[in-house]
Structure 1
Amino acid sequence: MANRFRLEMPSRPENVGLARVVVAALAAQLDPTVEELEEVKGAVSEAVTNAIVHGYQGDPEGLVVIEAFLNGDSLEIHVEDRGAGIPDNPLPPEKAADSQRLGLGLDFMRFWMDEVEVETHPGKGTRVIMRKKFRLVSEG
């Protein structure tokens, strides 16, 4: 079985750093470059922050679940909440056009990771699944 972990934590902003460190420690087993590690940490920060801010709307009693899996030269990360979910149409068109920040966190995740999937159910929560493949350094 590939190495993996599951972390459950309250939806508190101070736990974003904890999530970053734990995922980075697992990713370090794939001998990433500093840049690759920073990309993973940035993506985790965005996903966990979204769960806290949007999923639970700042309620510190929510639960954020993070799972990460190593599989060969790949890392897969799941960040899940049981919060508000993402509504089909979060803002009316006239407000969405004015909102330049809407969706930037997801754009960053997609930029830093190879694959990003979002599973959401309004009123029931959201799961973000991110994957990144690392180049393996041959041992010599």
Structure 2
Amino acid sequence: MYENMMKIEFLSKSQNESFARVAVAAFVSQLDPTVEEITDVKTAISEAVTNSIIHGYDNKEDEIVTIEGFIDKNELTVIVKDNGKGIDNVKLAMQPLYTSRPDLERSGMGFTVMETFMDSLQVQSEKYKGTKIIMKKVFKSIS
């Protein structure tokens, strides 16, 4: 069970990535995070949403990205979901520097960044049905 939760949906427009970051940061503020903790969460959210828009939806701006957030004591769970094209090989996609879009000037570090800034990362994906990224972070600054 959880003590608090939130859910937001927005169009897959690149400008909504900053909205997602700020919304999750506002939600997590109840845990009294440090600046470093909030920056970590915002960075991970940015990467997850960007992956949904660029890779899941091929930059189509009329699709939906969903973010759910759950707080239980001092732990945040964030789920970023899309109903895009899915990932063929999740294990391969999670390797540093791997990119499914070499035509773009991207570093292929999205999942690595998420893993670095969050305490756990799980990726569930089904071809032509979408991807769900589940990230968790424990906050040490809880009062």
Q: TM class, shorter-chain normalised?
A: 0.7 to 0.9
Counterpart Cα distance in 2 of 1:46 and 1:53 = 10
Aligned-residue sequence identity (percent) comes to: 41
- Tell me the CA shift for residue 137 of structure 1: 4.2
Which of residues 86, 89, 113 in structure 2 aligns to 1:108? 113
Q: Sort the Cα spacing of 1:137 and 1:87 in 2 relative to 1 into closer, same or farther, 3 A.
A: closer
Counterpart of 1:72 in structure 2 is: 73
Q: Which amino acid aligns with 1:43?
A: A
Q: Sort the Cα spacing of 1:88 and 1:134 in 2 relative to 1 into closer, same or farther, 3 A.
A: same
Q: Which runs of 5+ in 2 are unaligned?
A: none
Counterpart Cα distance in 2 of 1:75 and 1:106 = 18
Counterpart of 1:28 in structure 2 is: 29
- Tell me the CA shift for residue 88 of structure 1: 2.4
Query: Where has structure 1 moved over 6 Å in runs of 4 or more?
Result: none
Counterpart Cα distance in 1 of 2:14 and 2:86 = 18
SS in 2 for 1:68: strand
Counterpart of 1:84 in structure 2 is: 85
Counterpart of 2:51 in structure 1 is: 50
1:30-83 CA-to-partner distances (Å, cap 9, x unmatched) read 011100000000000000000000000000011100000111000000000000
Counterpart of 2:61 in structure 1 is: 60
Counterpart of 1:15 in structure 2 is: 16
SS in 1 for 2:110: helix
Give the count of matched residue pairs.
132
After TM superposition, the score normalised by the length of structure 1 is 0.88
Q: Which amino acid aligns with 2:63?
A: G
Q: Which amino acid aligns with 1:84?
A: K
Counterpart of 2:137 in structure 1 is: 132
SS in 2 for 1:28: helix
- Tell me the CA shift for residue 106 of structure 1: 0.2
